Amino acid sequence: MFTSFGDMVGGVLGFNSNTKKSDVGAYFKKVHDTVEGTKTSLEKIVADMKKEGNPNAEATDMVVKKLVSEVFNKIIEGAKTASEAIGDASESIGNIAATNAGGAAGTNIDSLVNGIKSMVEVVLKEGNVDAGTEKKADGLTARTNADGEAGKLFGTTAIASADNAKKSAADASKAVGAVTGADILQVIVKNGTNASTEAANAKKDATIAGGL
């Protein structure tokens, strides 16, 4: 998951495949602290308006309460959950399949997915879970769940050869590059903790990217 996430936010946040997972966690914490600070500032403005007898205080209060309950609180909670789930791991977000074996989902994957989902429901209005094509990295032939394809990265057994591992990684990179960050987030929300399982047998780029 972190590989696709790193590519997704790279253009905006300056992350790349060498960025540590802890940096991604720190980003979510910054989102939490920033929105929390904005919420506090708005609530103080309303309190000051009421204290000063401002005739627009009640109307402003209603707008702020709606914004806080429907937007800010969800982003704050989602960012907090995602940040805590990622923690301070020192691995790079591009570190996948180092041993060419399928990896199990981390113990905090539920929290990470739920945290992202909470924010996605508020700020994401686009994205397609079926984005991309079924073409392999060569751009000519369709995926068939065969050796040398991205799906093998999600298997429970080691990839048989270094050549096939290289081809699988290239196919996965193609999948990530073929879709947008919004597409990837939508897949994560849709498939949740089953994202890797779905990706193992998937042919579409978005499903594969969402499982990384």
Give residue limits of the domains in the chain: 20-86, 109-211
Is there a contact between 184 and 124 (Cβ–Cβ < 8 Å)?
no
pLDDT tier for residue 103 given thresholds of 50, 70 and 90: very low
Higher model confidence: residue 132 or residue 156?
132
Integer Rg of the chain from CA: 20
pLDDT tens, residue by residue, 85-95: 777 666 655 55
pLDDT tier for residue 142 given thresholds of 50, 70 and 90: very high
Q: pLDDT at position 5, please?
A: 40
Q: Which two tokens stand for residue 3?
A: 């590989």
Distance CA 111, CA 118 (A): 10
Distance CA 182, CA 43 (A): 31
Written as one letter, the residue type at 63 is V
Residue 14, Ramachandran bin (φ over 0: left; ψ between -120 and 50: alpha; else beta): left
Comparing CA positions, the residue from 131, 210, 198, 140 lying closest to residue 172 is 210
pLDDT tens, residue by residue, 43-76: 888 898 889 888 888 888 887 888 788 778 888 8
